[in-house]
Amino acid sequence: MTVVLEYDNLTKEYRSFASRRRVRALDHFSLQVEAGEIFGFLGPNGAGKSTAIHLAMGFMRPSSGSGRMLGKPFGRASTRRRVGFLAENVALYHRRAEPLVRFYGALNRMGGARLSQRAREVLEAVGMLDQAKGNVGKFSRGMLQRIGLAQALVNDPELLILDEPTSALDPVARVMVRELLLKAREAGKTIFLSSHLLSEVELVCDRVGVLHQGKLVRLGRTEDLLASAGQTEIVARGIAPDGFAGAVARHGVVTFTVPVHQQQAALERVWSLGGEVVSANPVRRSLEEMFLEVTGAANSTGGAR
Amino acid sequence: MKPVLLIAMNFVREQRWPILVLLLWVLLLAFLGLMSDIRRQREDLLFVFKQVAFYVVVFSVFFGGSAIYSERRSRRILAVLSKAVSRQQYLSGLVLGVTIASAIYCFTLGLTGSWTLGEAGFPMSQVWFLMLCLVAACMLAGTVALMFSTFLNPFFAASATAAVLGLPAVAGESHALAAQWGYVIPAYALTRTVLQASFQSPGNSFWLPILLALVETVGFWLVAARIFAYVDIAVAVE
């Protein structure tokens, strides 16, 4: 698999000029994002997510370590031509939406009829074509975020780096952005998505990494991370609930959970009691539960993985 | 070259209101000048012309000194530098933008100066040469301010620029080789050419300070680019 974004043992320290105090935002951080995936980058406030993104974009230099984006070291202008970026709290020039998107496209060496057509396409994709002649300075935060997304998409990027892309959006717009991301993945694009909206991440991301106090404390496929509780939920019919620990009878079925290694025995017991198994599924945690568990554990162990 | 032009034009667009106010000021003074008895009050007209000409050097320092700061403060710089734009190109765009903004001002001043001073007997070609001196001075002053603004806030950047540009003047006053000192950083020499022009002696077309200003602009741009390459632009400036 091709690696599109790679952090290699990267550390970033901020130094206060006045107090000479050092703050370590990223601590020997390593990560590989593969081509064609949607990678969810999670972490509490101040975990170092935006720092990691800004390092990849070349907005700052690492204190130590290195990184590569699309096969080239971080900070190359020529590489950014193939990248789309949306910053958290997006700030854009106050001019009409369509010329603004064209301006950002032109900075990526686009031009002519292709750029005009592409600008209209992306404005339509983010649901802002009706507002193409409106001044961005008068837009709401949600509208501004959509224009920000349009400028990130205008160059048809191979890699899309989005820092909180849906934080100011209403539920309808969130669904639209989600569909946009899924469509981009279908087209072979890679998406690096930093977000606090865990339900969104859970729905679209193939892999998830959790950053805490500058360290990567959890990394894996979304489905693996959510199914790692080691429990199976069994739903059965035609049995009494008191034969199984923690079983609940509701709407004519009995539901209970057992450790995975006891699953076979539990199913055989249901059948031996004359019951019928309706379903047996691994217990899935929500991403929120996993996130709280991971960051809580990291707090108690000082950020160890 | 395309990103540089785009950034320059965008800079001028962002500064359109201050530029417009300055242009209106120049046009208003020219109108008042045309209303007066030009022949009898020509010395007063020349004094006002030189005063208004001096302002543009000061404004170019403010334009140059605040450009990066305001872009970083508003975080608009992130969207620009997330494109295929290097930091050198970004700085080039700002230098060109400051130069275009001051050139617009100087062009308007040149036009109005041609009407008013030309009517009073000042050589028209010399008016345009003085404007060229002024544009070169603005370009150099704006670039020096931009260089300081890569690591200082606008107030300190403007102060440091004033100190650097004024250094040759101070050295010249207290040194036997006064004229030569003026060419070390020729913004002072170029401004002095404009300020010393008179109807009796409109000044000679001496091109050396203009050429030196061009060369030094490139030099200061290189230093600015070197410093700016190490600046964490995503870090809040406040």
Among B4, B82, B89, pick the best mutation site for testing chain A contact (most A Cβ within 10 A). B82
- Put simply, the answer to whether B2 touches A111 (Cβ < 8 Å) is yes
Output the pTM of the full model. Answer: 0.85
Burial of B218 (0-12, 13-18, 19+ CB in 10 A): exposed
H/E stretch holding B56 reads helix B42-74
Please state, in angstroms and rounded to a whole number, the distance separating the CA atoms of residues B173 and B121: 32
Q: Which residue has the tokens 């003085």?
A: B130
Set of chain B residues whose Cβ sits within 8 Å of the Cβ of A54: 232, 234
Instruction: Please answer yes or no on whether A77 and B85 come within 8 Å at the CB atom.
Output: yes
Q: How many C-beta atoms lie closer than 10 Å to residue B196's C-beta?
A: 11
* β-sheet bridge partners, residue A220: A208
Instruction: Report all structural domains of chain A as residue ranges with CATH numbers, in order of start.
Output: 3-224 (3.40.50.300), 229-305 (no CATH)
Contact B81 A111 (CB under 8 A): no
Query: What does the DSSP 8-state code read for residue A72?
Result: E
Q: Residue A51: closest CA among chain B residues belongs to which residue?
A: B234
A contact set with B (CB within 8 A): 14, 50, 54, 57-61, 77-78, 80-81, 83, 85, 87, 89-93, 95, 103-104, 106-109, 111, 148, 151-152, 155
Q: Please report which helix (H) or strand (E) contains residue B113, including its range.
A: helix B87-119
Query: B75–A91: do the CB atoms touch at under 8 Å?
Result: yes
Cβ distance B234 to A54 less than 8 Å, yes or no, reads yes
Least CB–CB distance from A57: residue in B13, B14, B82: B82
- Each residue's pLDDT expressed in tens, for chain A with a length of 305 residues: 799 999 999 999 988 766 678 888 899 999 999 999 999 999 888 889 999 999 999 999 999 999 999 999 998 999 999 999 999 888 999 999 999 999 999 999 998 899 999 999 999 998 899 999 999 999 988 899 999 999 999 999 999 999 988 887 888 888 888 888 999 999 999 999 998 888 888 888 999 999 988 999 889 888 887 775 678 889 999 888 887 888 888 888 999 988 888 888 999 999 998 899 999 887 777 777 777 877 776 666 554 34
ipTM of the complex: 0.86
Nearest Cα of chain A lies from the Cα of B187 at a distance, in angstroms, of 32
Rounded CA-CA distance B62/B168 in Å is: 20
Query: B150 vs chain A: nearest CA distance in angstroms?
Result: 14
Instruction: Give the whole-angstrom CA distance, residue A166 versus residue A18.
Output: 36
B contacts of A14 (beta carbons < 8 Å): 232, 235
Chain B partners of A85 at a C-beta cutoff of 8 Å? 78-79, 82
A59 vs B76, B81, B83: nearest CB: B81
Contact B85 A92 (CB under 8 A): no
Residues of A whose CB is below 8 A from B10: 93, 103
| pLDDT tens, residue order, chain B (238 aa) | 889 999 999 999 999 999 999 999 989 988 887 777 777 778 888 888 888 899 999 999 999 999 999 999 999 999 999 999 999 999 999 999 999 999 999 999 999 988 888 877 888 888 899 999 999 999 999 999 999 999 999 999 999 999 998 887 777 666 665 667 777 888 888 888 888 888 877 667 678 889 999 999 999 999 999 999 999 888 776 6
Other Cβ atoms less than 10 A from the Cβ of B51: the count is 11
Establish, for the pair of chains A and B, how many residue pairs have beta carbons separated by less than 8 Å. 77
Residue of A nearest to B75 (CA): A91
Structure tokens at A228: 């790692």
Q: Which residues of B touch A58 (CB under 8 A)?
A: 81
Distance from CA of B120 to the nearest CA of A (A): 44
